[in-house]
Amino acid sequence: MKGGLRQSMAWLHTWTGLLFGWLLFAVFLTGTCAFFQEEITRWMQPELTGTADPSQAVQSAVHFLEGKAPDAESWFITLPSARNMQTSLFWRPKRVEGEPRRRNRGETSATLDSAGNTVEARETRGGFFLYRFHFDLHYMPVRWARDLVSIASMFMLIAILTGVVTHKKIFVDFFMLRFGKGQRSWLDAHNVTAVFALPFYLMITYTGLVTLATQNMPWGIAANYADTSKFFAEVFPERERQERSDERVPLAPIGPMLEQASRHWDGAAIGYLSVTLPGDRNATVTVTRALSSSVNTRAPTMAFNGATGRPLTLPAATGGALATQGVMVGLHAGRFADWGLRWLYFLSGVGGTIMVGSGLVLWTVKRRAKLPDPARPHFGFRLVERLNVATIAGFPAGIAAYFLTNRLLPPHMAGRAEWEIHSIFILWGGMLLYAIVRPTRRAWIEGLMLAALLYLAVPLVNALTVPRNGLVGLFTGDWLFVAFDLTMLATAAGFAWAAHRMTRAKATQPPRRLARQPAELSPAE
């Protein structure tokens, strides 16, 4: 390799960052939204109101299931929490010999409020879609998507580590970092956002890879287990399968079991419970602690005999590796975080998104002045430039469109949830076409303005279409809507500011000067 360590690291940083930059931008942005996935879902289903009382919710849920699926194989009940008012139910119907297992979850699931009424709300995938997109993408098989995202994350990790070497002066000159010093403002944005939350980026990228570790590194399991399912059976032991006794015994009251479990976990909330063979003498109730009560996502469980209500011993898999993995996944998803830390996570995520975006722009900024003929750049340059506009302006605009279509599509339209999702990609693709036909500078300014306008439109359209909004929320204590409106306005302001800067910067500085700036903080290339 020519040049020193720093040059080769700079090369690696530039190209690993570029190759998957656009995907990483989308993953970072939707992953950041996913810290608030429950809140986004609640915003996207404004019909659902009320408060949640977990103990009442359990009673209502059991009552509902006893009426709906008394002889099911098992029931699964996700309890409401501080962040989610609804109880989600899912049941597996009794197996009938010779009939294939039914796969349609729609027929065997329900959402209840605390009082036990099924809730009717507009069909949407809400924040859950944004969460799933950040590792499953869309319009492609999940397996491929996860491979792609894994490779991109690996590149991200390389880009972070090589970036530390490349931009090492940002540590020496830490307090010399400045916001928006004229021509170097893209580099500043990149450096500043990178340094501030560097531990967060390292953590989130590394732990993100850990969440997909068994897919990406299957060899450890393959070397020790002939059959992968044996590995999982050992890691996640289940109680021995109970056979149906065909003797009907009513289910013991669940409330006391939950109380006992909660006491056992020092008063922690219950997140989830399942009942196998409900109504049978061999029924089992398994209670799982809420994920919000510990960093480790391997939440402990307790099992009870469903007929007598007595606790059962449960084989537990524990060990350093499992606990480490659980804590890493927990750190990544931040489900344990309360409001303060959740916002800090969100802000760090926003910083990461800006870091990736500004890094992508930097690639073109650095090369523009070195082009042999700046008026007619080569194909690769134009491609990067256009993909940048399409993704950095278009993808966030698509998410605003996701929120807008949620309010604008008719509530009972067939396939409305799918069309909400399509709107993201229509905007993204549309912006790419637009960037191809428009001169790049105009496309930048207009694309960023469009994103700003769409985010500005979200609170307005919301106020016109549903009775809940941020202004009313101020008086009624509907803080979800207050926070959502404010976040939308702040995002709109951010894009408008970026568009404004772009207009000003282009008007006052000929692009040629960019190359001759003293490369104080820039990597040697």
Partner 1 sequence: MIQLLLIHLIAILLCIAGFLALAVAMDRHQRDLLGRKLAPREARIARMAGGGLLVLALALDMIGLGAAYGAIVWFSHLSLGAAAMLTWITRLASVRKSKSPKGTSF
Point out which residues bind partner 1 (CB under 8 A).
174-179, 192, 195-197, 199-200, 203, 295, 331, 336, 338, 340-341, 344-345, 347-348, 351
Q: What letter represents residue 77's amino acid?
A: I
Residue 32: C-alpha distances to residues 204, 349, 351, 389, 403 (Å): 11, 5, 10, 20, 16
Is-contact 83 38, C-beta < 8 A?
yes
- For partner 1, which is the closer residue by CB, 125 or 190? 190
For the chain, give percent helix, strand, coil, nearest 5.
60, 5, 30
* Residue 206 CB partners (closer than 8 Å, separation 6+): 157, 328
- For partner 1, which is the closer residue by CB, 320 or 439? 320
Instruction: For CA atoms 434, 424, 465, 493, give the dihedral sign.
Output: negative
Q: How far is the CB of 352 from partner 1 (least distance, A)?
A: 11
Residue 200 burial by Cβ neighbours in a 10 Å radius (0-12, 13-18, 19+): middle
Q: How far is the CB of 173 from partner 1 (least distance, A)?
A: 8
- For partner 1, which is the closer residue by CB, 188 or 478? 188
Q: What angle do CA 120, 126, 128 make, to 5 degrees?
A: 120
d(CA 186, CA 175): 18
Q: Which residue has the tokens 């290339």?
A: 525
Q: How far is the CB of 208 from partner 1 (least distance, A)?
A: 16
Long-range contacts of 437-443 (CB under 8 A, 24+ apart): 440/382, 440/385, 440/386, 440/389, 441/502, 441/506, 443/386, 443/389
Q: How far is the CB of 295 from partner 1 (least distance, A)?
A: 6
User: How many Cβ atoms are within 10 Å of 509's Cβ, its own excluded?
Assistant: 12
Q: How far is the CB of 483 from partner 1 (least distance, A)?
A: 16
Q: What is the largest CA-CA distance in the chain?
A: 85
Looking at residue 393, the DSSP 8-state letter turns out to be I
**Tokens, residue 264:** 């056992």
Q: How far is the CB of 334 from partner 1 (least distance, A)?
A: 9
d(CA 450, CA 456): 10
Q: How far is the CB of 308 from partner 1 (least distance, A)?
A: 37
Long-range contacts of 458-462 (CB under 8 A, 24+ apart): 458/400, 458/403, 458/404, 458/485, 458/488, 459/484, 459/485, 459/488, 459/489, 461/404, 461/407, 461/408, 462/46, 462/407
**Tokens, residue 172:** 């020496």
Q: How far is the CB of 501 from partner 1 (least distance, A)?
A: 16
- For partner 1, which is the closer residue by CB, 194 or 435? 194
Q: How far is the CB of 366 from partner 1 (least distance, A)?
A: 23
Strand segments, DSSP code E, in 306-454 are 311-312
- For partner 1, which is the closer residue by CB, 280 or 478? 478
- For partner 1, which is the closer residue by CB, 145 or 347? 347
d(CA 34, CA 303): 31
DSSP letter string, 430-495: HHHHHHHHS-HHHHHHHHHHHHHHHHHHHHHHHHHHSS--HHHHHHHT-HHHHHHHHHHHHHHHHH
- For partner 1, which is the closer residue by CB, 342 or 438? 342
d(CA 17, CA 20): 6
Q: How far is the CB of 491 from partner 1 (least distance, A)?
A: 18
- For partner 1, which is the closer residue by CB, 179 or 475? 179
- For partner 1, which is the closer residue by CB, 174 or 497? 174
- For partner 1, which is the closer residue by CB, 179 or 379? 179
Q: How far is the CB of 196 from partner 1 (least distance, A)?
A: 5
Q: How far is the CB of 348 from partner 1 (least distance, A)?
A: 6
- For partner 1, which is the closer residue by CB, 47 or 173? 173
- For partner 1, which is the closer residue by CB, 246 or 338? 338
